[in-house]
Structure 1
Protein backbone atom coordinates (compact mmCIF):
# COMPACT_ATOMS: atom_id res chain seq x y z
CA UNK A 1 0.00 0.00 0.00
CA UNK A 2 2.80 2.42 0.91
CA UNK A 3 4.56 1.63 -2.37
CA UNK A 4 1.43 2.44 -4.41
CA UNK A 5 0.89 5.66 -2.46
CA UNK A 6 4.53 6.71 -3.04
CA UNK A 7 4.25 6.06 -6.78
CA UNK A 8 0.98 8.01 -6.98
CA UNK A 9 2.54 10.93 -5.08
CA UNK A 10 5.60 10.93 -7.36
CA UNK A 11 3.42 10.96 -10.48
CA UNK A 12 1.33 13.83 -9.08
CA UNK A 13 4.44 15.90 -8.26
CA UNK A 14 5.95 15.27 -11.71
CA UNK A 15 2.72 16.19 -13.51
CA UNK A 16 2.40 19.44 -11.53
CA UNK A 17 6.04 20.27 -12.32
CA UNK A 18 5.52 19.54 -16.03
CA UNK A 19 2.39 21.71 -16.12
CA UNK A 20 4.17 24.61 -14.44
CA UNK A 21 7.00 24.52 -16.96
CA UNK A 22 4.79 24.39 -20.05
CA UNK A 23 1.75 26.38 -18.88
CA UNK A 24 2.37 29.08 -21.53
CA UNK A 25 4.73 27.50 -24.06
CA UNK A 26 3.92 29.72 -27.07
CA UNK A 27 4.97 33.36 -27.01
CA UNK A 28 5.29 36.37 -29.29
CA UNK A 29 7.07 39.65 -28.83
CA UNK A 30 8.35 42.88 -30.27
CA UNK A 31 11.46 44.92 -29.61
CA UNK A 32 13.14 48.20 -30.41
CA UNK A 33 16.83 48.83 -30.21
CA UNK A 34 20.05 50.14 -31.61
CA UNK A 35 22.30 48.60 -34.27
CA UNK A 36 25.98 49.42 -34.77
CA UNK A 37 27.55 48.41 -38.06
CA UNK A 38 31.30 48.84 -38.45
CA UNK A 39 31.96 51.55 -41.02
CA UNK A 40 28.79 53.53 -40.26
CA UNK A 41 29.40 56.60 -38.14
CA UNK A 42 26.56 56.20 -35.65
CA UNK A 43 24.09 53.72 -34.22
CA UNK A 44 20.85 53.12 -36.12
CA UNK A 45 17.39 52.36 -34.73
CA UNK A 46 16.18 48.78 -35.07
CA UNK A 47 12.83 47.14 -34.48
CA UNK A 48 11.55 43.62 -34.81
CA UNK A 49 9.11 40.88 -33.97
CA UNK A 50 9.61 37.31 -32.83
CA UNK A 51 7.67 34.17 -31.96
CA UNK A 52 8.83 31.25 -29.87
CA UNK A 53 8.01 27.95 -28.27
CA UNK A 54 9.30 27.10 -24.81
CA UNK A 55 9.99 23.36 -24.67
CA UNK A 56 10.88 23.44 -20.98
CA UNK A 57 11.99 25.82 -18.28
CA UNK A 58 15.49 25.76 -19.82
CA UNK A 59 15.03 25.59 -23.62
CA UNK A 60 13.10 27.50 -26.27
CA UNK A 61 13.16 27.98 -30.05
CA UNK A 62 12.48 31.32 -31.76
CA UNK A 63 11.97 32.77 -35.21
CA UNK A 64 12.45 36.49 -35.73
CA UNK A 65 12.44 39.33 -38.22
CA UNK A 66 14.22 42.61 -37.50
CA UNK A 67 14.73 45.86 -39.37
CA UNK A 68 18.37 46.34 -38.37
CA UNK A 69 18.90 49.78 -39.87
CA UNK A 70 17.98 52.36 -42.50
CA UNK A 71 20.57 54.92 -43.47
CA UNK A 72 21.77 57.17 -46.23
CA UNK A 73 25.37 56.92 -47.34
CA UNK A 74 25.70 60.04 -49.46
CA UNK A 75 22.98 59.81 -52.12
CA UNK A 76 22.52 56.05 -51.58
CA UNK A 77 19.74 54.78 -49.29
CA UNK A 78 20.60 51.49 -47.55
CA UNK A 79 18.18 49.23 -45.69
CA UNK A 80 19.34 46.22 -43.60
CA UNK A 81 17.09 43.40 -42.36
CA UNK A 82 17.56 40.17 -40.42
CA UNK A 83 15.58 36.92 -40.54
CA UNK A 84 16.60 34.40 -37.88
CA UNK A 85 15.89 31.06 -36.25
CA UNK A 86 17.52 30.26 -32.91
CA UNK A 87 17.62 28.10 -29.84
CA UNK A 88 17.66 29.70 -26.40
CA UNK A 89 19.25 28.20 -23.32
CA UNK A 90 17.47 29.66 -20.28
CA UNK A 91 18.73 29.85 -16.70
CA UNK A 92 15.96 30.85 -14.26
CA UNK A 93 17.38 33.00 -11.46
CA UNK A 94 14.02 33.34 -9.71
CA UNK A 95 10.37 32.75 -10.57
CA UNK A 96 10.27 36.07 -12.44
CA UNK A 97 13.87 36.63 -13.62
CA UNK A 98 15.74 34.65 -16.30
CA UNK A 99 19.09 34.89 -18.06
CA UNK A 100 19.33 33.40 -21.55
CA UNK A 101 21.84 32.67 -24.26
CA UNK A 102 20.99 32.49 -27.95
CA UNK A 103 22.57 30.43 -30.73
CA UNK A 104 21.09 30.43 -34.18
CA UNK A 105 21.26 31.02 -37.88
CA UNK A 106 20.32 34.25 -39.58
CA UNK A 107 20.09 35.76 -43.01
CA UNK A 108 21.00 39.40 -43.41
CA UNK A 109 19.77 41.37 -46.40
CA UNK A 110 20.98 44.79 -47.50
CA UNK A 111 19.04 46.73 -50.12
CA UNK A 112 20.37 49.91 -51.68
CA UNK A 113 18.77 52.45 -53.97
CA UNK A 114 20.22 55.37 -55.89
CA UNK A 115 18.63 57.56 -58.56
CA UNK A 116 15.77 55.15 -59.25
CA UNK A 117 17.99 52.07 -59.38
CA UNK A 118 18.18 49.45 -56.69
CA UNK A 119 20.08 46.31 -55.77
CA UNK A 120 20.37 43.95 -52.88
CA UNK A 121 22.64 41.33 -51.39
CA UNK A 122 22.34 38.69 -48.71
CA UNK A 123 24.67 37.06 -46.25
CA UNK A 124 23.92 34.31 -43.77
CA UNK A 125 25.67 32.79 -40.83
CA UNK A 126 25.77 32.22 -37.10
CA UNK A 127 23.78 34.42 -34.74
CA UNK A 128 24.52 34.56 -31.04
CA UNK A 129 23.47 36.69 -28.12
CA UNK A 130 22.74 37.00 -24.42
CA UNK A 131 19.89 38.58 -22.54
CA UNK A 132 17.72 38.84 -19.47
CA UNK A 133 13.97 38.57 -19.14
CA UNK A 134 11.62 39.58 -16.35
CA UNK A 135 8.09 38.12 -16.12
CA UNK A 136 5.61 40.64 -14.71
CA UNK A 137 2.79 38.09 -14.93
CA UNK A 138 2.51 34.54 -16.29
CA UNK A 139 1.74 36.08 -19.69
CA UNK A 140 3.63 39.39 -19.90
CA UNK A 141 7.39 39.85 -19.75
CA UNK A 142 10.13 42.30 -20.71
CA UNK A 143 13.58 41.52 -22.05
CA UNK A 144 16.91 43.20 -22.73
CA UNK A 145 19.21 41.52 -25.23
CA UNK A 146 22.54 41.88 -27.00
CA UNK A 147 22.92 40.08 -30.36
CA UNK A 148 25.80 39.66 -32.78
CA UNK A 149 24.16 38.89 -36.16
CA UNK A 150 27.42 39.31 -38.14
CA UNK A 151 31.09 39.90 -37.41
CA UNK A 152 30.69 43.63 -38.14
CA UNK A 153 27.21 44.13 -36.63
CA UNK A 154 25.95 44.45 -33.03
CA UNK A 155 22.39 44.97 -31.85
CA UNK A 156 21.08 45.89 -28.41
CA UNK A 157 17.31 45.78 -27.91
CA UNK A 158 14.54 46.08 -25.34
CA UNK A 159 11.29 44.22 -25.90
CA UNK A 160 8.07 42.83 -24.53
CA UNK A 161 6.74 39.28 -24.68
CA UNK A 162 3.27 37.83 -24.45
CA UNK A 163 2.79 34.12 -23.67
CA UNK A 164 -0.36 32.19 -24.42
Structure 2
Protein backbone atom coordinates (compact mmCIF):
# COMPACT_ATOMS: atom_id res chain seq x y z
CA UNK A 1 0.00 0.00 0.00
CA UNK A 2 2.84 2.40 0.87
CA UNK A 3 4.49 1.65 -2.48
CA UNK A 4 1.23 2.46 -4.30
CA UNK A 5 0.86 5.77 -2.44
CA UNK A 6 4.51 6.66 -3.17
CA UNK A 7 4.01 5.74 -6.84
CA UNK A 8 0.88 7.94 -7.04
CA UNK A 9 2.70 10.86 -5.41
CA UNK A 10 5.70 10.42 -7.73
CA UNK A 11 3.39 10.20 -10.77
CA UNK A 12 1.48 13.33 -9.76
CA UNK A 13 4.76 15.19 -9.22
CA UNK A 14 6.04 14.10 -12.63
CA UNK A 15 2.81 15.18 -14.35
CA UNK A 16 2.88 18.50 -12.51
CA UNK A 17 6.52 19.07 -13.51
CA UNK A 18 5.81 18.22 -17.16
CA UNK A 19 2.82 20.60 -17.20
CA UNK A 20 5.13 23.41 -16.06
CA UNK A 21 7.81 22.94 -18.77
CA UNK A 22 6.72 25.83 -20.99
CA UNK A 23 8.74 28.96 -20.33
CA UNK A 24 6.85 32.16 -19.51
CA UNK A 25 5.50 33.97 -22.58
CA UNK A 26 4.09 37.37 -23.29
CA UNK A 27 1.36 37.67 -25.94
CA UNK A 28 -0.76 40.21 -27.80
CA UNK A 29 -3.94 39.77 -29.79
CA UNK A 30 -6.77 41.33 -31.74
CA UNK A 31 -10.34 40.18 -31.93
CA UNK A 32 -13.84 40.76 -33.16
CA UNK A 33 -16.42 41.03 -30.41
CA UNK A 34 -20.18 40.56 -30.91
CA UNK A 35 -22.48 42.27 -28.38
CA UNK A 36 -26.29 42.18 -28.34
CA UNK A 37 -27.80 45.60 -29.15
CA UNK A 38 -31.47 44.72 -28.50
CA UNK A 39 -33.03 47.40 -26.30
CA UNK A 40 -35.94 47.27 -23.90
CA UNK A 41 -38.60 49.50 -25.41
CA UNK A 42 -40.49 52.07 -23.33
CA UNK A 43 -43.94 50.96 -22.15
CA UNK A 44 -46.43 51.38 -25.00
CA UNK A 45 -43.75 51.75 -27.70
CA UNK A 46 -44.26 50.08 -31.08
CA UNK A 47 -42.19 49.58 -34.24
CA UNK A 48 -38.97 48.94 -32.29
CA UNK A 49 -35.96 48.78 -34.61
CA UNK A 50 -32.47 48.18 -33.20
CA UNK A 51 -29.07 46.95 -34.33
CA UNK A 52 -29.26 43.44 -32.79
CA UNK A 53 -25.84 41.77 -32.64
CA UNK A 54 -23.11 44.06 -33.92
CA UNK A 55 -19.37 43.48 -34.36
CA UNK A 56 -16.78 45.62 -32.61
CA UNK A 57 -13.04 45.45 -32.02
CA UNK A 58 -10.91 44.16 -29.16
CA UNK A 59 -7.20 44.34 -28.39
CA UNK A 60 -5.53 42.47 -25.55
CA UNK A 61 -2.21 41.37 -24.15
CA UNK A 62 -1.02 39.13 -21.39
CA UNK A 63 1.62 37.03 -19.80
CA UNK A 64 1.57 33.26 -19.27
CA UNK A 65 3.57 32.33 -16.18
CA UNK A 66 3.39 28.63 -17.13
CA UNK A 67 1.01 26.26 -18.98
CA UNK A 68 -1.77 26.85 -16.46
CA UNK A 69 -1.64 30.41 -15.08
CA UNK A 70 -1.47 33.87 -16.56
CA UNK A 71 -2.74 37.45 -16.52
CA UNK A 72 -4.49 39.36 -19.29
CA UNK A 73 -5.55 42.96 -19.90
CA UNK A 74 -7.69 44.19 -22.76
CA UNK A 75 -9.79 46.93 -24.32
CA UNK A 76 -13.10 46.41 -26.15
CA UNK A 77 -14.81 49.11 -28.21
CA UNK A 78 -18.57 48.47 -28.33
CA UNK A 79 -19.05 50.89 -31.27
CA UNK A 80 -21.96 53.21 -31.82
CA UNK A 81 -25.39 51.62 -32.12
CA UNK A 82 -28.88 52.93 -32.85
CA UNK A 83 -32.43 52.13 -31.86
CA UNK A 84 -35.73 53.70 -32.88
CA UNK A 85 -39.33 53.28 -31.82
CA UNK A 86 -42.77 54.89 -32.05
CA UNK A 87 -44.40 56.15 -28.85
CA UNK A 88 -47.79 57.96 -28.86
CA UNK A 89 -47.54 58.44 -32.63
CA UNK A 90 -44.09 60.08 -32.46
CA UNK A 91 -41.02 58.40 -33.93
CA UNK A 92 -37.97 58.61 -31.60
CA UNK A 93 -34.42 57.36 -31.90
CA UNK A 94 -31.60 56.64 -29.48
CA UNK A 95 -27.90 56.14 -30.19
CA UNK A 96 -25.12 55.21 -27.82
CA UNK A 97 -21.46 54.34 -27.71
CA UNK A 98 -19.30 52.46 -25.22
CA UNK A 99 -16.06 50.74 -24.37
CA UNK A 100 -14.53 48.59 -21.62
CA UNK A 101 -11.14 47.86 -20.07
CA UNK A 102 -10.44 44.67 -18.13
CA UNK A 103 -7.68 43.02 -16.08
CA UNK A 104 -8.05 39.32 -15.30
CA UNK A 105 -6.28 36.24 -14.00
CA UNK A 106 -6.31 33.42 -16.56
CA UNK A 107 -6.42 29.66 -15.89
CA UNK A 108 -5.71 27.30 -18.79
CA UNK A 109 -6.27 23.54 -19.05
CA UNK A 110 -4.50 21.84 -21.98
CA UNK A 111 -6.65 19.27 -23.79
CA UNK A 112 -3.85 18.20 -26.14
CA UNK A 113 -0.78 19.79 -27.79
CA UNK A 114 -2.86 22.13 -29.98
CA UNK A 115 -6.07 22.71 -28.05
CA UNK A 116 -6.64 24.44 -24.67
CA UNK A 117 -9.69 25.57 -22.73
CA UNK A 118 -9.47 28.57 -20.41
CA UNK A 119 -11.29 30.75 -17.96
CA UNK A 120 -10.65 34.34 -16.91
CA UNK A 121 -11.80 36.22 -13.83
CA UNK A 122 -11.07 39.84 -12.99
CA UNK A 123 -12.34 43.39 -12.95
CA UNK A 124 -13.73 45.60 -15.74
CA UNK A 125 -14.34 49.32 -16.18
CA UNK A 126 -17.25 49.91 -18.60
CA UNK A 127 -18.39 53.27 -20.00
CA UNK A 128 -21.54 53.92 -22.06
CA UNK A 129 -22.70 57.22 -23.54
CA UNK A 130 -26.23 57.98 -24.71
CA UNK A 131 -26.57 61.57 -25.82
CA UNK A 132 -25.97 63.70 -22.73
CA UNK A 133 -26.27 60.70 -20.37
CA UNK A 134 -23.13 58.79 -19.40
CA UNK A 135 -22.75 55.62 -17.32
CA UNK A 136 -19.34 54.58 -15.94
CA UNK A 137 -19.20 51.36 -13.89
CA UNK A 138 -16.60 49.06 -12.37
CA UNK A 139 -17.64 45.43 -12.06
CA UNK A 140 -16.65 41.80 -12.36
CA UNK A 141 -15.23 40.44 -15.62
CA UNK A 142 -15.42 36.74 -16.48
CA UNK A 143 -14.78 34.67 -19.62
CA UNK A 144 -14.76 31.05 -20.79
CA UNK A 145 -13.09 30.02 -24.02
CA UNK A 146 -11.06 27.69 -26.17
CA UNK A 147 -7.75 28.16 -27.96
CA UNK A 148 -6.36 26.40 -31.06
CA UNK A 149 -2.58 26.66 -31.49
CA UNK A 150 -1.45 26.86 -35.12
CA UNK A 151 2.18 26.74 -33.96
CA UNK A 152 4.11 27.78 -30.84
CA UNK A 153 3.57 31.50 -31.57
CA UNK A 154 0.19 31.82 -33.33
CA UNK A 155 -3.19 30.74 -32.04
CA UNK A 156 -6.90 31.45 -32.49
CA UNK A 157 -9.39 31.81 -29.65
CA UNK A 158 -13.16 31.79 -29.25
CA UNK A 159 -14.68 32.94 -25.99
CA UNK A 160 -17.79 34.07 -24.19
CA UNK A 161 -17.17 37.19 -22.08
CA UNK A 162 -19.18 39.00 -19.43
CA UNK A 163 -18.42 42.70 -18.81
CA UNK A 164 -20.08 43.50 -15.46
CA UNK A 165 -23.82 43.86 -14.83
CA UNK A 166 -26.54 44.82 -17.31
CA UNK A 167 -27.04 48.53 -17.99
CA UNK A 168 -30.24 50.44 -18.59
CA UNK A 169 -29.06 51.24 -22.11
CA UNK A 170 -26.35 50.22 -24.55
CA UNK A 171 -25.06 46.79 -25.45
CA UNK A 172 -25.67 43.84 -23.18
CA UNK A 173 -22.64 42.83 -21.06
CA UNK A 174 -22.53 39.37 -22.66
CA UNK A 175 -20.32 39.09 -25.74
CA UNK A 176 -18.86 36.48 -28.07
CA UNK A 177 -15.29 37.06 -29.24
CA UNK A 178 -13.16 35.52 -32.00
CA UNK A 179 -9.48 36.50 -31.83
CA UNK A 180 -5.97 35.87 -33.12
CA UNK A 181 -3.09 35.79 -30.63
CA UNK A 182 0.68 36.05 -31.13
CA UNK A 183 3.07 34.84 -28.38
CA UNK A 184 6.71 35.91 -28.20
**What TM-score do the two structures reach when normalised by structure 2?**
0.71
CA distance in 1, matches of 2:116, 2:60: 18
Contact 2:58–2:74 (8 Å) recurs in 1: yes
Name the structure where strand makes up a greater proportion of residues.
1
Residue 112 (structure 1) aligned with residue 130 (structure 2):
yes
**Counterpart in the other structure of 1:22:** 23
Contact 2:37–2:81 (8 Å) recurs in 1: no
CA distance in 1, matches of 2:76, 2:103: 12
Q: 1:140 aligns with which of 154, 158, 161?
A: 154
**Counterpart in the other structure of 1:162:** 182
CA distance in 1, matches of 2:180, 2:37: 24
CA deviation map 1:26-61 (0-9, x unaligned): 000000021025636411212110000001100110
**Counterpart in the other structure of 1:3:** none
Over 3 Å counting, the alpha-carbon distance change for 1:38 and 1:60 in structure 2 is farther
CA distance in 1, matches of 2:78, 2:106: 21
What pairs with 1:54-93 in structure 2 (closer than 5 Å)? 54-74=64-84, 75-93=93-111
Q: 1:43 aligns with which of 29, 53, 67?
A: 53
5+ long unaligned stretches in structure 1: 1-12
Figure out how many residues of one structure are paired with residues of the other and give that number. Answer: 145
5+ long unaligned stretches in structure 2: 1-13, 41-49, 85-92, 167-172
Over 3 Å counting, the alpha-carbon distance change for 1:19 and 1:148 in structure 2 is closer
Residue 121 (structure 1) aligned with residue 122 (structure 2):
no
Q: Which has the larger radius of gyration?
A: 2
**What TM-score do the two structures reach when normalised by structure 1?**
0.79
